[in-house]
Amino acid sequence: MRLLTGHARLAGVLGWPVSHSRSPRLHGTWLERHGIDGAYLPLPVHPDRFATAVRALVDLGFRGANVTIPHKEAAFAVCDTVDATARRAGAVNTLAFEDGRITGSNTDGFGFVESVKAGAPGWSPAKGPAVLLGAGGAARAIAAALLDRGCPGVTLVNRSTARAEALARDLGGPIAVADTPPLSDAALLVNTTSLGMQGQPALVIDLTPLPSAAVVSDIVYVPLETPLLAAARARALVAVDGLGMLLHQARPGFEAWFGVAPSVDAALREAVAADIPPR
């Protein structure tokens, strides 16, 4: 068993609840792999106490923390400075503490792009237009990342058209809103909603119009193979599950807190997915 010293580096994940998070297993695997004197803890924090809790972590000598639901917008507000990724996303999922100051970033878009690149070799955001289902925080981060990396156009399809239109205005650039997914020209289709998640209704969509070279991705990773991904594979389309996004979005934070640039590989994926149902 790895033992901590008085010099141990500390980080964690803030959420309410947080017991479902796979981040402790993920970062714990990296800490073990690299023999680092450190720990990554689940930190359940009620929304009313979020700002106080973050300041306490700074005072306790933590190096930083991840932030998950429902704290990402509150994390933006508590930061002394935020980088361009957080500003574009309007939310923070990664905090770094140094000299009493709090810096925020958003690695969700980076994690998504890296995941799709790994799961669909040869794909890049510049390959063609993307269609995003949903208009929440994940859609915002993913759309911003795609546009910033050369995607020629993003179309948002959401139950609330007004919300999608507001997001399109905020981001600017070649981003549109549609009532139905324009799949015939899409190079990438992404589900950013909770549909298909364990305990939620399945996402029902006809994938027939998608070109044969299109990539289908789902940010849901419980189960690993959602009905959307199963339908994509049945059409012989490249399908990318949501676990890769979780793994890759964690890389920048781990490097900032623990001083090592970690890698995502099959062994890491197997360790984190150990208790995730495949379907």
Residues with Cβ within 8 Å of residue 240, at least 6 apart in sequence: 115, 116, 119, 120, 215, 216, 217, 218, 229
Helix axes 161-171, 137-148, angle to 10 degrees: 40
**Residue 90's closest CA among 192, 177, 171, 172?**
171
Burial of 176 (0-12, 13-18, 19+ CB in 10 A): middle
72 part of the active site:
yes
Q: Which is the catalytic residue, given 22, 72, 88, 248?
A: 72
Which H or E element spans position 175?
strand 175-177
The C-alpha torsion from 115 through 158 and 74 to 151, rounded to 10°, is 40
Instruction: Kindly report the three-state secondary structure assignment for every residue of 13-31.
Output: EEECCCCCCCHHHHHHHHH
Q: Which residues are catalytic?
A: 72
